Amino acid sequence: MEALNAHLEGILAIDWATIGVIASLCGIASYVVKEYLAIPPMIIFVFPVMVVCGMEAYYWLLNAEQFSAKKIDQWLMWTILAGSSGVVVGIGCVTMLAALRERLGVRREPPRISRAIR
Protein backbone atom coordinates (compact mmCIF):
# COMPACT_ATOMS: atom_id res chain seq x y z
CA MET A 1 0.00 0.00 0.00
CA GLU A 2 2.94 2.30 0.65
CA ALA A 3 4.15 1.86 -2.92
CA LEU A 4 0.73 2.85 -4.26
CA ASN A 5 0.65 5.91 -2.02
CA ALA A 6 4.17 6.89 -3.14
CA HIS A 7 3.15 6.66 -6.81
CA LEU A 8 -0.06 8.64 -6.24
CA GLU A 9 1.89 11.34 -4.42
CA GLY A 10 4.37 11.44 -7.30
CA ILE A 11 1.59 11.81 -9.87
CA LEU A 12 -0.10 14.55 -7.85
CA ALA A 13 3.23 16.38 -7.34
CA ILE A 14 3.50 17.33 -11.03
CA ASP A 15 3.98 21.08 -11.45
CA TRP A 16 1.26 23.35 -12.81
CA ALA A 17 3.09 24.20 -16.03
CA THR A 18 3.27 20.54 -17.00
CA ILE A 19 -0.38 19.98 -16.12
CA GLY A 20 -1.28 23.05 -18.18
CA VAL A 21 0.53 21.76 -21.27
CA ILE A 22 -1.02 18.30 -20.90
CA ALA A 23 -4.48 19.75 -20.29
CA SER A 24 -4.25 22.06 -23.30
CA LEU A 25 -3.23 19.19 -25.58
CA CYS A 26 -6.04 17.05 -24.21
CA GLY A 27 -8.47 19.96 -24.60
CA ILE A 28 -7.60 20.37 -28.27
CA ALA A 29 -7.94 16.63 -28.82
CA SER A 30 -11.26 16.46 -26.97
CA TYR A 31 -12.62 19.34 -29.07
CA VAL A 32 -11.80 17.34 -32.21
CA VAL A 33 -13.09 14.05 -30.78
CA LYS A 34 -16.36 15.68 -29.66
CA GLU A 35 -17.66 15.69 -33.23
CA TYR A 36 -17.31 11.90 -33.49
CA LEU A 37 -19.09 10.99 -30.26
CA ALA A 38 -22.64 9.66 -30.37
CA ILE A 39 -23.49 11.96 -27.49
CA PRO A 40 -21.23 15.06 -27.75
CA PRO A 41 -21.79 16.25 -24.14
CA MET A 42 -20.02 13.03 -23.02
CA ILE A 43 -16.79 14.90 -23.73
CA ILE A 44 -17.16 16.19 -20.16
CA PHE A 45 -16.20 12.69 -19.01
CA VAL A 46 -13.62 12.00 -21.73
CA PHE A 47 -11.46 15.07 -21.07
CA PRO A 48 -10.55 14.24 -17.44
CA VAL A 49 -9.70 10.66 -18.43
CA MET A 50 -7.31 12.01 -21.07
CA VAL A 51 -5.67 14.41 -18.62
CA VAL A 52 -5.22 11.74 -15.94
CA CYS A 53 -3.71 9.33 -18.48
CA GLY A 54 -1.36 12.09 -19.68
CA MET A 55 -0.27 12.83 -16.11
CA GLU A 56 0.40 9.14 -15.51
CA ALA A 57 2.43 8.90 -18.74
CA TYR A 58 4.49 11.94 -17.71
CA TYR A 59 5.10 10.46 -14.27
CA TRP A 60 6.29 7.14 -15.70
CA LEU A 61 8.54 8.86 -18.24
CA LEU A 62 10.01 10.99 -15.47
CA ASN A 63 10.60 7.95 -13.26
CA ALA A 64 12.21 6.03 -16.12
CA GLU A 65 14.72 8.91 -16.29
CA GLN A 66 14.19 9.34 -20.01
CA PHE A 67 14.83 13.08 -19.84
CA SER A 68 16.01 15.88 -17.64
CA ALA A 69 13.12 18.00 -16.40
CA LYS A 70 15.54 20.91 -15.89
CA LYS A 71 16.12 21.49 -19.62
CA ILE A 72 13.20 23.34 -21.22
CA ASP A 73 13.44 21.73 -24.66
CA GLN A 74 13.54 18.19 -23.27
CA TRP A 75 10.78 18.98 -20.78
CA LEU A 76 8.50 20.33 -23.49
CA MET A 77 9.16 17.46 -25.90
CA TRP A 78 8.50 14.78 -23.30
CA THR A 79 5.46 16.63 -21.92
CA ILE A 80 3.96 16.78 -25.41
CA LEU A 81 4.71 13.06 -25.79
CA ALA A 82 3.02 12.34 -22.46
CA GLY A 83 0.00 14.44 -23.44
CA SER A 84 -0.31 12.69 -26.79
CA SER A 85 -0.03 9.26 -25.23
CA GLY A 86 -2.59 10.31 -22.62
CA VAL A 87 -4.97 11.28 -25.40
CA VAL A 88 -4.53 7.95 -27.16
CA VAL A 89 -4.87 5.88 -23.99
CA GLY A 90 -7.81 7.98 -22.76
CA ILE A 91 -9.69 7.57 -26.03
CA GLY A 92 -8.94 3.85 -25.90
CA CYS A 93 -10.29 3.55 -22.34
CA VAL A 94 -13.48 5.41 -23.15
CA THR A 95 -13.95 3.36 -26.33
CA MET A 96 -13.55 0.11 -24.41
CA LEU A 97 -16.05 1.26 -21.79
CA ALA A 98 -18.55 2.17 -24.52
CA ALA A 99 -18.06 -1.20 -26.23
CA LEU A 100 -18.51 -2.99 -22.90
CA ARG A 101 -21.67 -1.03 -22.25
CA GLU A 102 -23.06 -2.04 -25.63
CA ARG A 103 -22.16 -5.70 -25.10
CA LEU A 104 -23.88 -5.76 -21.74
CA GLY A 105 -27.04 -4.61 -23.46
CA VAL A 106 -27.43 -1.20 -21.88
CA ARG A 107 -29.01 0.69 -24.72
CA ARG A 108 -31.17 3.72 -25.00
CA GLU A 109 -34.55 3.48 -26.63
CA PRO A 110 -34.80 5.40 -29.87
CA PRO A 111 -37.01 8.45 -29.55
CA ARG A 112 -40.61 7.85 -30.48
CA ILE A 113 -41.87 9.74 -33.45
CA SER A 114 -45.24 11.31 -32.81
CA ARG A 115 -47.48 11.66 -35.80
CA ALA A 116 -49.88 14.48 -36.18
CA ILE A 117 -53.54 13.50 -35.83
CA ARG A 118 -55.84 14.99 -38.41
Specify the pTM. 0.75
> Is 112 a domain residue?
no
Q: How confident is residue 96, by pLDDT bands cut at 50, 70 and 90?
A: confident
Q: Are 22 and 83 in contact (CB under 8 A)?
A: yes
> Is 49 a domain residue?
yes
pLDDT at residue 109 greater than cutoff 70? no
Q: What is the pLDDT of residue 38?
A: 74
> Is 56 a domain residue?
yes
> Is 10 a domain residue?
yes
Q: What is the pLDDT of residue 4?
A: 79
Q: What is the pLDDT of residue 27?
A: 92
Give the rounded distance of the alpha carbon of 107 from its chain centre: 24
User: Residue 79's domain spans which residues?
Assistant: 2-103
Give how many domains the chain has, as a whole number.
1
pLDDT at residue 32 greater than cutoff 70? yes
